[in-house]
Structure 1
Amino acid sequence: MIENIMSTFSENIDSLIHSGDSDLKKAESGIQLSVKTLTKLQKHVDKNDFEDPQSEIDFFRNIKPLPMSYHIYFSQVRHCEIKLPKIGISNKVRFLEKEMKKINQFFSENNSFVSYMEQGHTYLDHMFFSRHGKRDFSFNPNIFYYQYPEFSTSHDLLWSQVQALYRYIHYIREKLERIEPGSSSNFRERKPNLLIWSGTKTNLVEMIYSFYFNGDINHGTVDLKTLFAAFEDFFNIKIDNFYKTYGEIKSRKDPRTKYLHSLAAIMDAKMREDDKK
C-alpha cells in the first residue's frame, strides 16, 4: 500500500516539476499533491501501524519526509513568488539574497543534525525517528498540519525541512540566474569547488540514472531533478535536457550502458593487473 502511494506521488511530482506551468502554479499544485499524499499515509499508519520498531524508523526517516519535504518546499516557493518584488532587478536580487541568508542560518543552527544525516549515521535513529523517542520537538515550522504524536517524531519534520531547503536553494539559484545572469555564482558553494567533470555529459547522465534506478541516494527517495542539481553543483557543470539524453542512451544498440560497461572493464582489468604483482 505505502509503495503504491509513494510510487504514484513520485510520478505525479516528476510530471508536475517538468510541466510548462509557472512556478506559482507548480507550487500550488505541489502543495495540494503533497497534502493529499500525506493524508493517505497518515490514514494507512492509523489503520495498520508498524510491524516492528525498525519499520517505524524507516517510515519516518525515509518515506514520510519525501512528500513532507515537497510540502515545505512548495510552500517556500509560493511564499517567494508572492513576496518577490515586481519591479527592479536590484530589488529582486536583494530579496533572494535575504532568502539565501535565512537558509544559511538554518543550516548553521542545525549543523549537527544535518551532519548526522548526511554521513548516513543511524545510532540515534531510535530517538529521532521513533514516536517513542525524544518528544521535545526541536523544529517548529510554519506547517502544523501533520505535527501531532501519532504521525510525527521529534526530527522527521526537521529532516523534511533540510531536504526542502536543498531544493529551495536550487530554485533560488535558477531564479537569480533568470533575473540577473551570473548573480547565482555568488552562492554556489560554501567552500571552493575543486572538482570538475571532464568526461562527456552523456556519460555523467548514464551514471546518475544508474544511481537513481538503483536507489543508492537517500534510500531511493530523491527525485531526478534534485539528484541532477546536486551533481551539477558538485562537478561545476550544467546538464541540459537530461531526459532527452536518457532517451538517446535508450536508443543505442547493445550495450546501451556503454560507460558503465567500460568502467567495470577498467576496474576489473586493474584488479587483475594488481593480482599479478
Structure 2
Amino acid sequence: MKEEVDKILEQIEVDISEIDLYGYDIIETSLSMVHRLQTVLYDLRIKVQTYVFPNKEDEILFFKTQKPEILARLLFFYKIYRIETQCPNGSNEVIRNYINRELDNLTYFFNRNLDFYQYYRSRSTMYDEYYFVRGKADLRLCTDSAQFDKDPNFSTGYDYKVAKIIANEMLRIYLNKRLVKLESNNQIEDNLQRCFKYPFRFTGKKAYLIELGYSLVSSGDINNGNVEIKEIMNFLSTIFHIDLGDYYASYIAMKERKDRTAYLHHLIDNLVKRMNEDDMK
C-alpha cells in the first residue's frame, strides 16, 4: 500500500507542477483538479475497505502522512475554486481586502487548533495511536465533531485535520503571492497613467476588448507567454480608461456564442477592406 500511494502522490505533484496557479484559467483548472482528486480518493477508499495493514505503524503512516497529503490538495484546489469564483469585481483595494479576510480565516483556524497543530508540527508521536489508528479516537483528546461524519473504515477523524493544516498552509502561500501580484499590478497602472498623457478611449463594446485581451494572452506573443489574463485586462483597462468588469463571465459567454471570435473576424474584415481600398488608389 505504501509504495502504491507514494506513486499516486508523485504523479499528483508532477501534475500540479505544470499548473499556473495564477493563470487566467485557474477557476477551470482548480475545478478539474478537484474532480480528479475526488476520483483518486474514492479509488483509494475502495482499496482500504478490504486492505489489512500489516502493522499499526503502517496504518499510522497512511492516516498521518499519505492520505492527508492527497486530501490536502483536494481541499486546496476546492478552496482556490471558491475564492476565485467569489472574488469581487472592483478596485485592487476591494480585492486586497477580500484576500486579507481569507488570510484572517486561516489564522482563525490555526488559533482554534493550536494544540493539535503544535503536536503535528513538532513531529510528536505520543498520541498517534489515538489520532491515526481507526477505532482508537479518544474524545478527550483534541475533540473534533467532524470525526462523526467520516467513514470509519477510511478515516480516523484526525487525518482530515492534518489535511486541513497542510491545505491551509498551501493556501496561505497562494494568497500572499496573490497580494504581491496585486501590488505589482498597482505599480504597472501607476506607471501607465504617467506615461499616457493623452488618453485613448475604447469606444466599442467591452466584450470586444475582452475578446482582444484573451486573444493576446492565448497567442503567447507577450513576454514569451509569461503573462496572466488579469495583467492584460488591467493594462487594457488603464490605457483605454474603461472598466472591463467581470471579464471572466464575458469569456464564458464568448465561448457559448455561435461565432466565438466575432470581433477578431470584424478586425480582419476591416483591415482587408482598408488594404483593398489602398490598392485601388
Q: Which TM class, normalised by the smaller chain length?
A: 0.5 to 0.7
Cα deviation, residue 59, structure 1: 0.7
Question: What is the count of residue pairs matched by the alignment?
Answer: 179
Cα distance per residue 1:29-79 (max 9 Å; x no partner): 221221121112211111213122221111100110011001111111011
1:100–1:139 CA distance, 2 compared to 1 (3 A): farther
Matches within 5 A, 1:118-133: 118-133=121-136
Cα deviation, residue 5, structure 1: 4.2
Cα distance per residue 1:202-249 (max 9 Å; x no partner): xxxxxxxxxxxxxxxxxxxxxxxxxxxxxxxxxxxxxxxxxxxxxxxx
Distance 1:17 1:26 in 2: 13
Aligned to 2:174: 171
Q: Secondary structure at the match of 2:15?
A: helix
Distance 1:76 1:135 in 2: 30
Alignment equivalent of 1:114, drawn from 89, 114, 117: 117
1:106–1:38 CA distance, 2 compared to 1 (3 A): same
Q: Secondary structure at the match of 2:63?
A: helix
CA RMSD of aligned residues (A): 2.2
Q: Secondary structure at the match of 1:151?
A: coil
Which one-letter code corresponds to 2:7 in the other structure? S
Q: Secondary structure at the match of 2:46?
A: helix
2:152 pairs with 1:140:
no
2:101 pairs with 1:101:
no
Q: Secondary structure at the match of 1:115?
A: helix
Cα deviation, residue 3, structure 1: 2.2
Q: Which has the larger radius of gyration?
A: 2
Gaps of 5+ in 2: 187-281
The worse-fitting range, judged by mean Cα deviation, of 173-182 and 104-113 is: 173-182
Gaps of 5+ in 1: 184-277
Distance 2:56 2:183 in 1: 50
Matches within 5 A, 1:15-54: 15-20=15-20, 22-54=25-57
Aligned to 1:8: 8
Cα distance per residue 1:143-180 (max 9 Å; x no partner): x6xx2111110211000000000000011011111122
Cα deviation, residue 85, structure 1: 0.9
Distance 1:139 1:62 in 2: 21
Q: Secondary structure at the match of 1:132?
A: coil
Which one-letter code corresponds to 1:152 in the other structure? S
Cα deviation, residue 132, structure 1: 2.0
Distance 1:4 1:58 in 2: 13
1:130–1:8 CA distance, 2 compared to 1 (3 A): closer
Distance 1:5 1:107 in 2: 28
Cα deviation, residue 103, structure 1: 0.4
2:68 pairs with 1:65:
yes
**Is the Cα–Cα contact under 8 Å of residues 146 and 157 in structure 2 kept in the other structure?**
no
| Greater than 4 Å deviation, 4+ residue runs | none
**Is the Cα–Cα contact under 8 Å of residues 53 and 59 in structure 2 kept in the other structure?**
yes
Distance 1:140 1:154 in 2: 7
Identity %: 20
Aligned to 1:158: 161
Give TM-score, length-normalised by structure 2.
0.59
